[in-house]
Amino acid sequence: MDIQTILLLAILGVCLLLVLGAVFFRRTVVATVEGFSWERQVFLEKLVWVEESSLNGFPEGSQNQRTTRESYQSYEFVRSETRTITTGPNGQTTTTTEPVYQWVTRWRTKYLYEIQRWVDSRQPASSGEDHNPYWPAYVLDESVSERVHHRQERYLVHYRSARGKRFQRKLPEDAWSQVDEKETYKLKTDVFGRVRQIESDQEMPVAMPGQTM
């Protein structure tokens, strides 16, 4: 076994240990709640007229329709070439036919028009470093048929251990709202220091999103 193979196996072994450590290693850290933070955002969109083009005609509902001619290059078969090759002492001949392709200039009709499309409008947002989240206030602009496309929210709990090390964890709103800032918690962290599970003396363990208990 050469040195390169040995080094490769050693690297693979280290990577495997890191993966196994990330999956199975758990360290318990006793910490208190240092604070909370949250973010909420509403993504709005509006209906506007935009310019578009097509090679297949005008779509339904379009306006300011017009056409133009444009050239384009097409790689096409243009002819066949026949070749005769003489070989051998008896003058034997072999005939082959091969296709020839070239770039050819063609013309086509391009359809230009305006059509209504939904586009991003604005994103009202609210945030705070407390335990009282609220959605931002906004009024839909009826002149552009403004509507809500989707909402986005993020809730974090900030912990601090007795040694001053800080941790944070993203939680669903219902779990986040139930965290007691006066309580002492046991944080189960992985080898990278990420919080995987939270326990308290009065509550059952809190599973992280995507984790089964």
In a domain, 178, yes or no: yes
162 shares its domain with 107: no
Whether residue 127 lies inside any domain: the answer is yes
My answer on whether 148 and 198 are in the same domain is: yes
**Residue 152 counted as domain residue:** yes
Share of the chain above pLDDT 70, in %: 85
Number of domains in the chain: 2
User: What is the per-residue pLDDT for 204?
Assistant: 42
Question: Residue 53's domain spans which residues?
Answer: 47-114
Residue 128 lies inside a defined structural domain of this protein:
yes
Q: What is the pLDDT of residue 3?
A: 77
Mean pLDDT computed over 122-136: 97
Residues 171 and 82 in one domain: no
Q: 24-29, long-range: CB within 8 Å, 24+ apart, which pairs?
A: 25/190, 25/191, 26/188, 26/189, 26/190, 26/196, 26/197, 27/188, 27/189, 27/190, 27/191, 28/186, 28/187, 28/188, 28/189, 29/161, 29/165, 29/167, 29/186, 29/187, 29/189
pTM of the model: 0.67
Residue that is last in its domain, among 59, 88, 114: 114
* 61 within domain boundaries: yes
Identify whether residues 186 and 155 lie together within a single domain: yes
Mean pLDDT to the nearest integer, 175-201? 82
Confidence at residue 90, expressed as pLDDT on a 0 to 100 scale: 75
Looking at the fold, whether 107 and 70 belong to one and the same domain comes out as: yes
Whether 73 and 143 share a structural domain: no
Domain boundary among 114, 135, 168: 114
Specify whether the CB–CB gap between 112 and 53 falls below 8 A: yes
| CA 162/CA 166 separation, integer angstroms | 10
Let me know whether 92 and 183 are in one domain.
no
> Side chain identity at 117, as an amino acid letter?
R
